[in-house]
Structure 1
Amino acid sequence: MFFKSFQRSIQLFFNRKFFKIFVYFVVAIALFLLINFQLYGGQSLSNTPEIRGVWLTNVDSDILYSPQHLTSGLQRLKSLNFNTIYPTIWQGGYTLYPSSVAQRVFGVSIDPNPGLEKRDVLQEIVQYGHQQNFTVIPWFEFGFMAPADSELVKKHPNWLTRKQDGSVIKKEGVEERVWLNPFHPEVQQFILALITEIVKNYNIDGIQFDDHFGLPAEFGYDDYTIKLYQQEHNGQSPSPDFYETYWVRWRADKINQLMKKTFETIKSIKPNCIVSLSPNPLHFSLPAYLQDWFTWERKGWIEQLVLQIYRSDLNRFITELERSEVTLAKNHIPVAIGILSGLKNRSTPMNIIEQQIAEIRKRNFAGVSFFFYESLWKWSEESEQQRQQKLQHLFPTSVNREHGLNGLR
C-alpha cells in the first residue's frame, strides 16, 4: 500500500515537472519567434528569390557620367546585395547609346552631354553589370514623351498629338514636354526601330517601359487621330470630354494593339528578353494615361511588373498593394513594387522604407525597386552611412532575382 502510494507520488511529481518544462519550452520558442520577427521582419529569407532593383538616371545623379562613377556605383550596389539595375537609355529626346535610328530620323546619334557623347553607356552597363552578376534591364524612360525644344520635335512636328484647344505642351514640373502620337504609323515605326536596335545589338536581360508608354488623356485631338476615329465611326468625331468612357477605351485599345506589336517584335529578336513594365496603379494609369496595363498582363504582353507605389502614408501604400488587379497579376507573373527612395532635396526616411518593404514581403511580392540610385543615400537628415547600414540590414545576403522563364511563373 505504501509502495503504491509512493509510486503515484513520484509519477505525479514527474508529470508536473515535465509539464512545467514543456510549458516553459513552448513559451521560450514563442518568445524567440516573436523577437526574431520583430527584429528581422523586414529581411528576406536568405534563399528566397527577390528582385532588388534600382533605377539609374542621368538626372540629379552622376552615376552614368563616367566609367569610374558607373563601376564604383555598381560595386556599391553589389556590396548591398542588389541584383537588378534599370538604367535609362531613352531620355530627354536622346539615346544614351550610339543609335543609327536616331541619327537617321533626327540627326543626333547620342546624347550630346560631354559625359555621354563619346561613350556607349549602355554597352558599359551591360559589361560591368554582368561582371557583377546584375540582371540588366534598360529602361525606355521617355516612351512617347519628348522635350518641346528637342531636335526630334523640330524635325517631325507632324508627329505630335494635340489637346482639344490645339496646344501641344504638357508641363512636367517646370519642364515643357510634348507627346508623340502613338496612333501615327510613322511614330510607331520610329519607336519600334529604337527598341529593335537595343534588343538586337546589346546583350541585355530585358527591356522596361513605364508610364510614358501611354498618352495623357487630354491628348488625341490632332488631325490624324480625329480622322482615324471618324473613319471607324461613320464620320462621328470623338467626344470633347477627354475622360469620356468610350473615347478613353478606344484610345487605350489602340495603345494595347501597339503593346502587342512591341512584345511580338522583341520576342522575334530575342525570345528570352524579359518585357518589363513599371506603370502607375491602374485606377490612375488607365483614365489619366490611357495605359491599360492589366490587359497587357492578362494577354501575356508583359512578363515582369514593377508597380510604382510612391506613397509615404503606409495605409495608402497597403491599399495599393491589395488591389484585386495587383493580386491577380502577382499570381501570374513576378510583380515587384517600385518604392520612392527620394527626390533631390526630398529624401524618404529609412523607417518608412523599412515599413514598406516589410509589407511587400508579408504579401509575397517578387521584390522591390528604388527610384532612384542617388536618393538611396543623399538629401536626407540621416547620414549616408546610416542609410547604407539600414539597407544592409534589409538585404543581409545576396539572392537571385524572382525566377521564372521569361518572367512567367
Structure 2
Amino acid sequence: MANSSAQAKIMYPKNEFRAVWIATVANIDWPKNSTDPVEKQKSDFIEILDAYKKLRYNAVIVQIRSNGDAFYPTDLAPWSRNLTGKEGKAPSPYYDTLEWMIHEAHQRGFEFHAWLNPYRATSSANLEIVSKKHDLIQHPEWMIKYAGKYYYNPGLPEVQNHLTRVVEEVVKKYDIDAIHFDDYFYPYTVDGEKFNDTDSFNKYSNGLELADWRRNNVNVFVQQIATSIKKIKPWVQFGISPFGVWRNQSVDLRGSDTQAGQTNYDDLFADPLHWMENNWIDYILPQLYWSLDHPKASYTKLLKWWSENSKNAAIYVGNGSYKIKSDADKKWDSPFEIPNQIDYSRSFNNVQGNAFFSAKWFLNKNQEVTQLLAENQYKYHAIPAAVPNFKKLVFDVPRVTSVIKDKNELVISLQPTRNPMRYVVFYGTDTNGDINSDDPSQIVDKFLVQKNNNRLAIRVPISVLENKSKFALSFIDLYGNESKEILTQLPQTVVKTN
C-alpha cells in the first residue's frame, strides 16, 4: 500500500503536476466555434497556453478524439466536425492540428497529454452528420445505440484491436508525452435504457457474469493499450482519469465513505485499482469534482481514500473549476474553495499535483481565484516529477558550449548528453544568494531544447534574467527525470539591478 501519511504542508513544492484539460467535444474550450478560420483557431489556442503559462501550469491534456473522430490526419477516423464544421472535412488552409498544438505546447514548457475517448462513437443519433469514413458507417456491427448516442461495443475483440491501432498511430507519429483516457468506459447508466451487448456476451463471456465480463473487457483493453505504448515509445506515459468514486462503502467495505449515485466499478465497469495493481498505468487522476465537505461525496474523504488505495502509479487530482460560482453547492461561491483543495491535496505526500476541468474557466474568468493561485499556491514554477515507473538517476549534466547574446535573448548552445534532453531548467538568483535547485523560487523557467542536426540550444529571453547574477542549468530527459544542476557563467550585461 502506498504511503499516504500527511506531511507538513509545503507551501511551494518544486515538483508538482499542474494541468488543465482542453476539451474539444462540442467546442467546450477550443476551437471556440467549429467554423472559426484557422488563424483564429491558432490564436485562441495560443491564448489558452499563454494564460496557463502565466499561471505557472506545466501540462495540457488536449482532447484529440471525442466521437470516433480525429484532430489529426488519419485513415482510421474522419476529421472532427468540432474542428472544421463538417465531419471528414480537413482544415483549410491545411495544417496537421495535433502536430501544431504539440509544438506550441512544448515551446512553452508544457507536457502534452493526448486525450482520447475510446468508446464514444457519436454525441447524437443523427446519422446525416456522420462522415462515410466514420466507423459507425464502415462497421455498424461494432456499435451499440444507447440513450440517443452510439458507442463502440467494448466486448468485441475487433473493437479493442481497432482502438489499439488508433492509439498506436498517435504514439508512433507524434511527439506526445502521454496518452490520456478519461472516465468514459461503459456509458453512465440512464434510467429505462439498456446497453444491449447480449449477442457479444453470449459469444465471448466464457462463463463470466455480465458485470465481471464487462469489467474484464475494459481490463483487457487497458492492458493492451499499456503494452502497445511501451513497446513503441517506453517514455510515453499512460494515464487515466476515472470518475471520482471507485465504490461506495455501503456496497464494499474497501470503498469510500460516499453515497455516489454511480460508481466506476458497478456502473462504468472500470476498475482503476486493478489497473494500478497490475502496473498498467503510469498515473491515476480521479475526478474529484465536489467541494471539500460535500455531504455525499466530499473532496476531503475521497482524496484521502485515493491516497490510501493507490499504488504503482503517480496520483494527481482532478478539480472542478467549471463549478466555481455556477453550482447548487454554494461552497463553490467562495474563491478559496479551489486554493483550499490544492492545499489539502499537498498535505498527502503521495499526491503529486492537480488538473482542472476545464480550460475556459480560468480564461478571463474567475479572476479572484486565479489571482489567489498566482499569489499563493502557484506563486513559483514547478516541474512535474518523473512518474514512479520512470524514475532513475541521471548522471549527465548540461554543458554549455557557447552563449550568443542579441538584443532580446541569449542563445545558449549545449553539448549533447547520453541521455536525450527534452528541456533545460534555468535557475537564477541575485548576488547575495547561492543557487539552490530545491528552491522553486529560483526557477527562472523551463526551456525546450531545440535540435538542429547535432546541435542543441535553448533560447532565453533577456527579460527573465533581470535582477539575477548567478545562474545554473539542469536538464530533463524524455522520462521526466531531472539531472543535477551545473553553475553557468552568462554575460554580465544582461543583468539589470534595481
What is the correspondence of 1:2-401 to structure 2 with a 5 Å cutoff? 44-47=11-14, 49-58=15-24, 59-62=27-30, 66-102=41-77, 108-111=78-81, 113-114=83-84, 117=91, 118-141=94-117, 143-147=119-123, 148-149=125-126, 150-151=130-131, 152=134, 153-161=136-144, 168-170=145-147, 176-216=148-188, 218-229=194-205, 232-233=206-207, 246-280=209-243, 281-283=245-247, 284-314=263-293, 316-323=298-305, 326-329=307-310, 331-342=311-322, 346=326, 348-349=332-333, 350-364=335-349, 365-377=351-363, 382=366, 384=367, 386-392=368-374, 393-401=376-384
CA-CA distance at 1:72 after TM superposition: 2.3
Distance 1:395 1:292, change over 3 A: same
What secondary structure sits across from 1:389 in the alignment? helix
The answer to whether the Cα contact below 8 Å between 1:337 and 1:368 also exists between their aligned partners in 2 is: yes
Using the size of structure 1 for normalisation, the TM-score is 0.74
The answer to whether the Cα contact below 8 Å between 1:139 and 1:208 also exists between their aligned partners in 2 is: yes
Using the size of structure 2 for normalisation, the TM-score is 0.62
The answer to whether the Cα contact below 8 Å between 1:312 and 1:352 also exists between their aligned partners in 2 is: yes
Return the alpha-carbon distance in structure 2 between the equivalents of residues 250 and 193 of structure 1.
23
- Partner amino acid, structure 2, of 1:51: F
Return the alpha-carbon distance in structure 2 between the equivalents of residues 254 and 158 of structure 1.
17
Distance 1:397 1:112, change over 3 A: closer
Distance 1:391 1:177, change over 3 A: farther
CA-CA distance at 1:67 after TM superposition: 1.2
Mark the runs of 5 or more structure 1 residues left unpaired by the alignment.
1-36, 103-107, 162-167, 171-175, 239-245
CA-CA distance at 1:110 after TM superposition: 4.4
CA-CA distance at 1:341 after TM superposition: 0.2
Distance 1:53 1:63, change over 3 A: farther
The answer to whether the Cα contact below 8 Å between 1:95 and 1:111 also exists between their aligned partners in 2 is: no
The answer to whether the Cα contact below 8 Å between 2:185 and 2:269 also exists between their aligned partners in 1 is: no
Return the alpha-carbon distance in structure 1 between the equivalents of residues 177 and 271 of structure 2.
24
Alignment partner, residue 28 of structure 1 = none
The answer to whether the Cα contact below 8 Å between 2:179 and 2:236 also exists between their aligned partners in 1 is: yes
Return the alpha-carbon distance in structure 1 between the equivalents of residues 269 and 19 of structure 2.
26
Cα displacement string for residues 157-202 of structure 1 (whole angstroms, at most 9, x for unaligned residues):
21123xxxxxx222xxxxx322210111221222111101110000
Distance 1:353 1:181, change over 3 A: same
Return the alpha-carbon distance in structure 2 between the equivalents of residues 308 and 282 of structure 1.
11
CA-CA distance at 1:300 after TM superposition: 0.5
The answer to whether the Cα contact below 8 Å between 1:90 and 1:96 also exists between their aligned partners in 2 is: yes
What secondary structure sits across from 1:94 in the alignment? coil
Return the alpha-carbon distance in structure 2 between the equivalents of residues 408 and 368 of structure 1.
20
What secondary structure sits across from 2:264 in the alignment? helix
Distance 1:344 1:195, change over 3 A: farther
Q: Which moved more, 1:249-258 or 1:292-301?
A: 249-258
The answer to whether the Cα contact below 8 Å between 2:102 and 2:112 also exists between their aligned partners in 1 is: yes
Return the alpha-carbon distance in structure 2 between the equivalents of residues 66 and 344 of structure 1.
26
- Partner amino acid, structure 2, of 1:90: R
Return the alpha-carbon distance in structure 1 between the equivalents of residues 241 and 112 of structure 2.
15
The answer to whether the Cα contact below 8 Å between 1:90 and 1:143 also exists between their aligned partners in 2 is: no
**Greater relative contact order, per chain length (Cα 8 Å cut-off, separation 6+):** 1
Q: Which moved more, 1:251-260 or 1:138-147?
A: 138-147
Return the alpha-carbon distance in structure 2 between the equivalents of residues 408 and 333 of structure 1.
11
The answer to whether the Cα contact below 8 Å between 1:215 and 1:290 also exists between their aligned partners in 2 is: no
Distance 1:204 1:408, change over 3 A: same
The answer to whether the Cα contact below 8 Å between 1:209 and 1:278 also exists between their aligned partners in 2 is: yes
Q: Which moved more, 1:219-228 or 1:333-342?
A: 219-228
Distance 1:377 1:127, change over 3 A: closer
Cα displacement string for residues 14-70 of structure 1 (whole angstroms, at most 9, x for unaligned residues):
xxxxxxxxxxxxxxxxxxxxxxx9xxx6x73252x1000000012232457611111
Return the alpha-carbon distance in structure 2 between the equivalents of residues 312 and 252 of structure 1.
29
- Count residues in correspondence: 333
Q: Which moved more, 1:71-80 or 1:146-155?
A: 146-155
Distance 1:44 1:96, change over 3 A: farther
Return the alpha-carbon distance in structure 1 between the equivalents of residues 110 and 235 of structure 2.
16
Q: Which moved more, 1:56-65 or 1:86-95?
A: 56-65
Distance 1:390 1:90, change over 3 A: same
Distance 1:407 1:139, change over 3 A: farther
The answer to whether the Cα contact below 8 Å between 2:153 and 2:197 also exists between their aligned partners in 1 is: no
Identity %: 23
Return the alpha-carbon distance in structure 1 between the equivalents of residues 387 and 221 of structure 2.
25
In our comparison, the structure showing a higher alpha carbon Rg is 1
- Partner amino acid, structure 1, of 2:246: L
